[in-house]
Structure 1
Amino acid sequence: MPGSALKRLIATAFATAALAAGALAVAPGAQASSGGYVALGDSYSSGVGSGSYISSSGSCYRSTLAYPYLWQQAHAPSSFGFVACSGATTTDVLNNQISALSSGTTEVSITIGGNDAGFSPTMQTCVLQGTSACLSAVATAENYINTQLASRLDAVYSAIRSHAPNAHVVVLDYPHLYEVPGSCWFGISDTSRTAINGAADDLATVTAKEVAKYGYSFGDVRDAFSGHEICSGDSWLHSTTWPIYESYHPTSSGQSGGYLPVFSANA
């Protein structure tokens, strides 16, 4: 396929995925929990990229191979509210997921903030428009992370405290996407890859600071994924792939080998 045609295909697919994400994040499924464990958040918690999706979750793409599902299988909590949803932002968590919590909820996990910062459109720009455009898009995302995201995270963490005052809460971050330099000969430049990793660091820093205010546990997965980024010899993350919504998400190995151990250590 000619390069221009391939780029058009990827752009169309990204656009379709972005439109879908707006609907996915408000998909029904948050049922009040009478106790036990509730998994909130976005696609990194629902398990996008790991396959084995639960049909009843629809386009939230909740997977039986996602770390929340694996953890509840191993620990048998009294109840399990799996409401994380692909495309979710902090607003979506507040509007569509918080209702799954109750005073009897004892354990909560969440990944959130990446979609607020424009993860999908930033990656689309980096894949399709070259290094200069990528660096500009990443800089815009970092500005948002460093100036606006904290208050949005604070609203989510405060709502969790209000709805589940007796819960132990674990907030997990996002891995570096790329090993730099790595074994990838094609795709975006190392300069772009480094910038994208830097945005993940900014996001982790802001998230950890807000988490500390509430005394919640911060689960940092960056070390767990070290050596398993895209362009490594053993990647636990998808690069651009099909279906497109799985791009730049953990594989089943990333969920079981990266996220699950970090959550388990903090739960």
Structure 2
Amino acid sequence: MEKKNNLQFSIRGYEASDRREVLALLCDGVLEHVYPAFFRSLAYPDHVGVALSVCVAGYVLGGSSYLLALLFGAAWAGLLYYCCHQVHQGYLQRRLEAARGQNGLLEGSGLWVAETEVGGRTRLVGAVAVRAVKGDQGAPGGRGEDRTGEEEEEEEEFEEGEEELELYGELPLMVVSYGCRRRGLGSLLALKALETCKGRGYTRLLVDSSSPQAAANTLYRKMGFVQTAAHGETHANRWIAMLARVQVLTLEKLL
């Protein structure tokens, strides 16, 4: 138990009754990055040039109308916001489908929640999950076959003649309620994940993040994670992803 700024946090195993609150944390944690992504996209040099060109076009087409110039610029900004929202909404939809599916994120044994007492009531304010991934050895940052069953299934011997594969950990979920940020809870959850991976004999722990998640990326790097990959493939429409300018980052820590 850790005490930070008069709040005490306790971490326990996930229970079925926590499902609704964990899903709510997941939704809030993903969608809160729409605005940071939008402002980053808006400030991108190419997009600044387009915004100025659009405003000038509106001014000229409107017969020296400042109002039309403003409306054209607002339309461009609205398009960028829409693209950023679509990228995050699509990601959230995939995470919810994975969480609710059979043997999904909320059904495994590697999920913990954090609680604290606020106003005399116990509130769930954070969650972290670890799952095993089987992949080729010597391929950092890659993705292998997900192992979402019980821990004993992760440790079963490979069939005779099958090439030996590395077993490593992945962090599919780590979220902290907004009101409990900067109080050490993120570090506690990350340490729980690292301790679990070491206890299970995993060689490394991987986490996928994104460029708008500045606070989370700073925390990961402070804890020894190193960025091993970055790409713009967000599973959204290619043009939407290009305008949103959201980079998907892979960070890794050797154990």
Task: Looking at secondary structure, tell me which structure has more strand per residue.
Answer: 2
Q: Give TM-score, length-normalised by structure 1.
A: 0.29
Max Rg structure: 2
